[in-house]
Amino acid sequence: MSGKIVVIAGPTASGKTRLGISLARALGGEIVSADSMQVYRGMDVGTAKADERERAQAVHHMLDVADPAENYSAARYVREAGAVCDALLEKGVTPIVVGGTGLYIDSLIAGRDFAENEEDNALRRALEAEYDAVGGGEMLRRLAAFDPERAKRLQPGDRRRIVRAIEIYRLTGVTATAHDEETRRRPPRYDAARIVLGYRDRAALYARIDRRVTAMAEAGLFEEVERLLAQGLSPDCTAMQAIGYKEAVLALRGELTREEALHLIRQNSRRYAKRQLTWFRRWDDALRILFDDEPDFESARQLSTAFLLGRGYAVCV
């Protein structure tokens, strides 16, 4: 393991940013964002990205590192966030990984090797064209011929994962199943103290999500999306599939009213929060802080610092 890091995770609107800043100050640490959409420049309102005031309270990394037209991946996140964490640890600074993208967090901690190859774009495009020509069912059948375990876990419509599994085999001669198993057997890259925020009553979380969506609209969500489209960003790119952006596009096209779009954003955000809660439930060793109707950040700070002291972190209490 390269060193100790702190992780603060939880569903959307659970208060991760605020607790992260508080612990960064207590640990003399710096924040490493783990949000798959906050990596994109110009996508600030809809991703609830830390604002200037929050960034002035603690150094933030892994924000605004990609153009929205890019297809940012978990593999790239592991490379770039891992480099940030290693540099901080070398300086004696504790990285505090804050975010809600469970795949990014788990992959970073594990130091997962995605068998990524920067020269594989031509092969990927060829496989995507092949998928479009013959269909998902046929591509899944071809995958099953050499990786039946992975094929059983995928549906014909899962174009990206089917293509990726075939691509890995073509590039490395190793199946995606075998590659993932080998990765799981390796010791983790980091010793992570994980803290998960949540609410005792799911309705309280949903109410916070609803308020956040309203605040985003008031802060200029539709104007932000309109500006991105005016800059030539395709509504079909990965970044614009984020919750909040894809619904706003429909409203700007006239396919929904703005109020209907906001209702859909609230609904989709709640569904996403449920998936996040399911992901973070796997972490058996995490400190879980459950708020009542409103978050008690002073209590969360005290519980977190006590937890970190018990794990051997140097905390200024």
Average pLDDT per block of 10 residues along the chain, 317 residues long: 88 95 95 97 96 96 96 92 97 96 94 60 87 95 95 92 91 86 82 96 96 97 97 93 96 97 98 95 95 93 95 80
Dihedral pair phi/psi, residue 266, rounded to 5°: -60, -45
Beta bridge partners, 288, equal: 196
The sign of the dihedral angle between the CA atoms of 229, 233, 235, 238 is negative
Tell me the CA distances in angstroms from 151 to 5, 138, 181, 317, one per residue in order: 35, 11, 15, 51
Tell me the C-alpha distance between 257 and 251, whole Å.
5
d(CA 280, CA 300): 18
Quote the distance between the C-alpha of residue 44 and its chain's center: 15
Instruction: Tell me the residue type at 85.
Output: C
What does the block give as tokens for 42? 């110009």
Q: Which two tokens stand for residue 220?
A: 């200029």
Domains of the chain (ranges; CATH) run 4-111+186-310 (3.40.50.300), 121-185 (1.10.20.140)
Radius of gyration (Cα) for the chain, nearest Å?
21
pLDDT of residue 64: 97
Q: What is the pLDDT of residue 119?
A: 46
Single-letter residue type at 280: F
Asked whether the whole model's pTM tops 0.85, one would answer no
How far is the C-alpha of 35 from the C-alpha of 268, rounded, in Å?
17
Give the model's pLDDT for residue 1. Answer: 46
